[in-house]
Amino acid sequence: MANAHDFISKLPKGYETRLGERGSQISGGQKQRIAIARALLKDPKILLLDEATSALDPTSERKVQDALDAASINRTTLVVSHRLSTITNADIIVYVKDGQMAEQGTHNELMAKKGLYYNLSMINRKQENDLEGKQRKPSYKDEDDDDEMIDDIFSVGGEKIKEKYKISLYSLMKLNAPEWKLILVGCIAACLHGATFPIWAVLFGEFYGVFASLDNDYVQQQSDKYSYYFVAVGIVSGLGIFMQTYLFTIAGVKMTSRLRQMTFKAILSQEMGWFDLKKNSVGALCSRLAGDCSNVQGATGQRIGVLVQAIATLVVGAIISFVYSWNLTLVTLITVPLLLGSVIIESKYMEKSTMKERNAIEVASTIAVEAISNLPTVTSLGQEPYVLKRYCDQIEIATRACEKSVRFRGLVFGFGQSMPFIAYGISLFYGGYLVADGLEYKNIIKSIDIWLLDLGQALAYAPNVNSAIISAGRLLDLFKRVPKMENCAPSPFNAVEKIEGDIKYENIEFKYPTRQETPILQGLNLEIKKGQTVALVGPSGCGKSTCIQLLLRYYDPDFGSLNLTGTPSTMFPVDVLRSQLGLVSQEPVLFDRTIAENIAYGNNFRDDIPMAEIIESAKKSNIHEFIKSLPQGYETSLGNRGAQLSGGQKQRIAIARALVRNPKILILDEATSALDNESEKIVQEALDAASTERTCITIAHRLTTIQNADIIYVLKNGEVHEKGTHTELIQLGGIYKQLYKMQQIS
């Protein structure tokens, strides 16, 4: 019923094809048709259609509209539409203005009144009413266009992720290098604290021998003396553990904070092709940003202090033990290899379970991010239980992996804690023979190697080190990666002045990194002169939006050259190039900040944007009066992704954001698609004025909005098939004329 079955059937995996994050592997029209099928599957008593056919080409729209008309029989249907042609058969039409009903009636009744609806209809008749899909996957879809999508979806859906990270402990320690002063003082404190354990053993052994005397005065005198010793040892130990904990905690927190900043910076520096990979989904990156940075502390920070403390205890304790009884010490040290061996085996086991656990957590994070960011869709479909089950299934996988590792880890931890006591038993057993041979009893006590207890505790934390190595490996892999769009060396010319508005695509060939089997541009040649207004049109998959992405340097051509005023785009620093380009996309992205801040973000190359410029940009995009009507005006917070505004209001703020930059090249990718007819007319006039004295590139679904363009390029299969003015292309009678006729019919 939704005209989606044919293109789904042609996919290699059919209905089992994965659509990618947010449906990124299919076009806007295909997404819309699947959404319509999803709604019809419920056989609802009330059908809500909010611009349900807006992303479809004229051919598909007619078919889907017929299906929706049939689906509306015997059920209540509420339609929200900017296309009046889709609601002419409605039983009742309500015209809403300023939150109130202004007119109501049938189409004929409202036309006869010649009121607000009539005026809107008159404007509507002068505009074509098709809508192209979002940026990467444009929208004019026919059966051939659907075929072009199939290889793309299959190649991405089949992506396999297999990661293994291994770095040296030295590389791990280098991450904490900036805090070396804190770590150095902390190591000294840890050594002092660690040395107190064997020193206490010596004092205890000496004091234990005092009780062998029958002289009460002597015992009292020695007791007083050793009590001072023990207090002194306690003070040194207390100061040592305080400094050790404090300094290493500060070092660890600073390192974690620095790693999070470095990680976020590295993520933002990557080119668009890197984000196309499944392993770099939003959920996975958020999980890495939150988890890996803190996990590195498992082998740094306080763990360094524990390790240094254990080494100090081991060295000082072994020296003292060898001094008093070398043979007994050697016997006791037999337990150390056993302890180390168990830790090594456990670490090998932990490596596999840790990666399995983390992969499951990343998938769970991806599900959570996708569900939360699309919460209105989830709730409207009543799919909260399904999403929760998917999330819980991944958490269960992580839990099972964790349970297996915890059981093994508990065994190793228990073994590590028991080793000192086993060593005591061995020491006492063998010590008995030494006593029989005449060795003093108090010296045997000194050699019972209390330091093994501290060593066992320190080695019990070895699994944390293994986990930290995996996390650090992933982070270092990200830090070392050189983005393909990295800023080049300082240009030998003034890059800003060099960008004047002349653009030339010469023999451009391009394939998306994750879809190498499908060529997008095939020898594209296209020239735009400074100050011209140029429109790009054509069927889906022809490469219109790809041309824009190459200009913005989201990607670079595989072959050929994209020149700006005769200079290859790759010669310009990315930030300088983009500072001279203003982009307005079909689906605007706003931030959870105030309206003023969202508009000012359009020109973050200046420290401060005067409020007058912000207001002027808002006036040009026909949003100023609306902003003034809000209680907090320009200080109104927009909520997550601009949730407090309608689609048209968001689009106008996005237009204002582009205009405040005063770009030399203005790019309009369906810039007025979300606006009603009245607002579109006003905004289009503002955009026409804004295009004066600057180069303007437009991708438009409504051909009436580009009729005044200086030149229109018609693309198909990654090449220019037609070019000329609107009148010239109509007279030519080719692809452009066919599209224009289809829109007139709709």
Phi, psi of 158 (to 5 degrees): -90, 10
What is the biggest distance separating any 2 CA atoms in the chain, rounded to whole angstroms?
125
Q: What is the mean pLDDT of residues 680-695?
A: 75
Tell me how far apart the alpha carbons of residues 326 and 444 are, in angstroms, rounded to a whole number.
11
Q: For residues 521 and 508, is the Cβ–Cβ distance under 8 A?
A: yes
The phi, psi pair for 528, rounded to 5°, reads -130, 125
Query: Are 700 and 679 a contacting pair, CB within 8 Å?
Result: no
Predicted confidence at residue 134, as pLDDT, reads 33
Quickly count: other Cβ atoms within 10 Å of residue 553's Cβ: 20
Provide the pLDDT confidence category of residue 185 given band limits of 50, 70 and 90.
Answer: very high
Which element (helix H / strand E) includes 453? Answer: helix 451-459
Express as a percent the part of the chain with pLDDT over 70: 79
For every residue of 648-673, DSSP letters joined together read: HHHHHHHHHHHHTT--SEEEEESTTT
pLDDT of residue 507: 92
pLDDT score recorded for residue 506: 92
Q: Do 28 and 134 form a contact (C-beta atoms < 8 A)? A: yes
Rounded Cα distance between 330 and 316, Å, is 15
Long-range contacts of 505-509 (CB under 8 A, 24+ apart): 505/547, 505/550, 505/560, 505/562, 506/560, 506/561, 506/562, 506/563, 507/559, 507/560, 507/561, 508/550, 508/557, 508/559, 508/560, 508/561, 508/562, 509/557, 509/558, 509/559, 509/560
> Under a CB-based contact definition with an 8 Å cutoff, are residues 396 and 337 in contact?
no
The CB density around residue 482, as the number of other CB atoms within 10 Å, is 7
Q: Token digits for 570?
A: 């790759």
Structure tokens, 280: 């770099």
For residue 572, how many other CB atoms are within 10 A of its CB?
Answer: 23
Q: Residue type at 325?
A: S
As a whole number of angstroms, the distance between CA 698 and CA 507 comes to 21
Model pLDDT for residues 442-457, shown as the tens digit of each residue: 555 555 556 666 666 6
Mean predicted lDDT score pLDDT of the chain: 77
Which residues make Cβ contacts (< 8 Å) with residue 181, sequence separation at least 6? none
Phi-psi region of 98 (alpha: psi -120 to 50; beta: other; left: phi over 0): left
Nearest of 352, 515, 321 to residue 434 by alpha carbon:
321
pLDDT at position 676 is 65
Give pLDDT, residue 14. Answer: 78
pLDDT digits (tens, 9 = 90+) for 293-339: 888 877 777 778 888 888 888 888 888 878 877 777 788 777 777 77
Whether this model's pTM surpasses 0.85: no
Which residues are CB-neighbours of 140 under 8 A, at least 6 positions away? Answer: 57, 130, 132, 538, 539, 540, 739
